[in-house]
Amino acid sequence: MGTGLYLFYARPFPETPVFLHVISIRAPRAFLSFRYLYTVCLFTTPYLAYLGIFSGLYIATLKFRQRIAPDACRATLTRALEMTFSS
C-alpha cells in the first residue's frame, strides 16, 4: 500500500501527451478507463512484485531447514510400536 501511495504521488497519470489529449476529446470514457487502469496498476503491480519476492524467499529458506531422515523416523516409530505392543 505504501509503495502504491508513493507511486501515485510520484508518478501521476500523464495527461500532457498529445495522443492522450486526442483520446480525451474523441472518447472520454476510454480516456477515463485508461486513467483508472493506470491508477489500479500503480497499486497492484508492486503488490504482485512483493508477493513474488517474498514467496521466493520463503521457498528458498525451506531448503535450509533441518530435515528428518526417513530411516530415523522409521526406527523411532518401530521402537515405539514394539514397546507399546510388547507390554
Q: Containing H/E element for 75?
A: helix 70-86
Separation of alpha carbons 75 and 15, rounded Å: 71
Q: Residue 65: CA atoms inside 13 Å, Cβ hemisphere, count?
A: 8
Q: Is the pTM of this model over 0.75?
A: no
Give 15-67 pLDDT, tens digit per residue. 889 999 999 999 999 999 999 999 999 999 999 999 999 999 988 887 776 66
Give the separation between CA 15 and CA 33, rounded to whole angstroms: 13
